[in-house]
Amino acid sequence: MAGSRASLVVVPYEGDFSLRETLKSGQLFHWQPCLFDGHEGYAGCIGSESPAFITQLDDGTVLTRPGDPARVARYFGLDHSSEAIRASFPATDEVLRTAIAFSPGIRIARQPLWECLATFITSSMKQVTHIRAISLTLRQRYGERHEFAGATFHAYPTPAALAAAGEEALRQCALGYRAKSLHLAASAIAAGEVDLDAIEREPSLAAARARLMELHGVGEKIANCALLFGAGRWDAFPIDVWIERILRDLYRKRLKGARLQAWAERHFGPHAGYAQQYLFHFARKTL
């Protein structure tokens, strides 16, 4: 050993990436600011694994701990080119072009499907700060504890842990009526009634979505969010109030519900979900 001091290694990637923008873009809620090896960065658990550390230098270079580049790259969506994604967008869409230019560094993360689904079940009618607080409480009470860089981190609780906790205990985590949905989902998955691994392997987006929507509290929007942010399904296009607003005001679309959904999926194409993320962030910041 040349020295006892830990060092960081580079995570290579192609195209644009902004760690800060990606963490703020409403898909990840548990990464904490962290000082490690002399670098200001962020740390958080990836699934049930021990915490990972990630930081980005001013020149764009992404650093993580030795042994972690592969899982960090996969988690933050750095294993594909942002240029290739954009090449599939409709060439004449000026609104989308503007949204991309507004924050080109946003990536779509690949969270473990369960924690992504669970987080979005608890997100309905909630602000980002509150979603973050709920996620933290659930992790602290029911998730596996890890120590890293002098701080404490918690993995997202397993379905079995939340099923065992019971609906009333979950309600005490400020979940309100979402406690029932979260508990039923955790129970169904823990019991094997709903197989998330099979849903991830399901080639048809519509079929995967339908399976998720069998869960109480999971409608089309949450199912699409889970598939987009938790399964790398970039064809999934979640429509929330912000996206509906942008489609109505900037795209002049008066359609609703299933018709609007169908129009968007067809217009934006195989990476519609990526387009959604650019538009969503743009809408939140400017509308």
Q: What is the largest CA-CA distance in the chain?
A: 65
Q: Name which of 78 and 222 has its Cβ closer to DNA.
A: 222
Residue 149: CB minimum distance to DNA, A = 27
Q: Name which of 36 and 120 has its Cβ closer to DNA.
A: 120
Residue 174: CB minimum distance to DNA, A = 4
**Measured between alpha carbons, how far is 39 from 57 in angstroms, rounded to an integer?**
9
Contact 139, 154 (CB under 8 A): yes
**Measured between alpha carbons, how far is 191 from 195 in angstroms, rounded to an integer?**
9
Contact 30, 44 (CB under 8 A): yes
> How many CB atoms are located within 10 Å of the residue 230 CB?
26
Q: Is 28 helix (H, G, I), strand (E, B) or coil?
A: coil
Q: Name which of 11 and 99 has its Cβ closer to DNA.
A: 99
**Measured between alpha carbons, how far is 251 from 260 in angstroms, rounded to an integer?**
11
> How many CB atoms are located within 10 Å of the residue 6 CB?
12
What DSSP line would sit under 30-44, residue for residue?
Answer: --EEEEETTEEEEEE
List contacts with DNA (CB under 7 A): 26-27, 123-130, 171, 174-178, 180, 213, 215-223, 240-242, 256-259, 280, 284
Q: Name which of 80 and 178 has its Cβ closer to DNA.
A: 178
Residue 239: CB minimum distance to DNA, A = 8
Q: Name which of 63 and 179 has its Cβ closer to DNA.
A: 179
Residue 249: CB minimum distance to DNA, A = 15
Residue 5: CB minimum distance to DNA, A = 38
